[in-house]
Amino acid sequence: MPLTDVPTIQEITRMALGAGIRSFRCKLGDGRTRDVAIISAVRDLIGPDAGLRVDYNQAYAPNEALAAIEAIAPYGIDFAEQPVRADDFAGMTWVQSRTSVPLMAHESAFGLRDIVTLAEMGGVRCFGLNAERPGGMTGALRAIDYAAARGLDVVLHNQCGGIGSAMLLHLHAARAANIRHATELQGHLMLEHSLIRESIDYDGGSAAVPDGPGWGVTLDEAAVDRFARADWITLNA
């Protein structure tokens, strides 16, 4: 798959700014030179006060990760997500001990044991959470409370459908005092249908917490039937 060129990234950033977005995440990991080119272009567009976070998707070895992070640090980075392999807790700790940029674990944070281990090792200063990691809403609430007690940050993010998005909005509302980074939700932009009857209001770069019983949304069963895949349904028959 060809890499997204910097002009295209700039155009996407302009569109997001026009929609009211004030916190941006850049996918990096294709080399220090390209990383700097992307971050420099985005920071020039969004200005000094907008949030800017990066996600390496486990792209680098620890020594490469440190060099890459230090190269973009002057541009004001909120946190660097998963710069090394998910199972390399020692590598994360090595990098975090040598940079002032907070590292965020996402692929590494599948369960509460992972979160506690990384925190106690000093391997991260932020955790990425969603409904699956670290094990449903109860696990996520426990993780947020643990992080708050340890003085660590959390970020809620996912590319889920309408029910998952509603869950994360309620989760953020329940622990808003302990969540200082903007929540990321892209499912409504990436998916053809949200699979709910209602529309969640994402106007102006924010999202309204759905109001109503349960999560405040209703499964659209007709849409579920329309998008059902027969081959998936029969795989385990």
By the 10 Å C-beta count (0-12 exposed, 13-18 middle, 19+ buried), 128 is classed as buried
Query: pLDDT 10s per residue in the chain (237 long)?
Result: 357 899 999 999 999 999 999 999 999 999 999 999 999 999 999 999 999 999 999 999 999 999 999 999 999 999 999 999 999 999 999 999 999 999 999 999 989 999 999 999 999 999 999 878 888 899 999 999 999 999 999 999 888 899 999 999 999 999 999 999 999 988 888 889 999 999 899 888 899 999 989 999 999 999 999 988 766 655 554
pLDDT at position 234 is 56
CA torsion, ordered 30, 35, 38, 40, to nearest 10 deg: -170
Instruction: Give me the DSSP letters along 74-120.
Output: GG--S-EE--S-TT-HHHHHHHHTT-SSPEEESTT-SSHHHHHHHHH
Helix and strand totals (H; E) in the chain:
10, 7
φ/ψ of 156, rounded to 5, equals -95, 125
pLDDT at residue 133, rounded to an integer: 83
Q: Record the pTM.
A: 0.89
Task: Evaluate whether 53 touches 25 at the Cβ level (below 8 Å).
Answer: yes
pLDDT at 88: 98
Domains and CATH numbers, the chain: 6-234 (3.20.20.120)
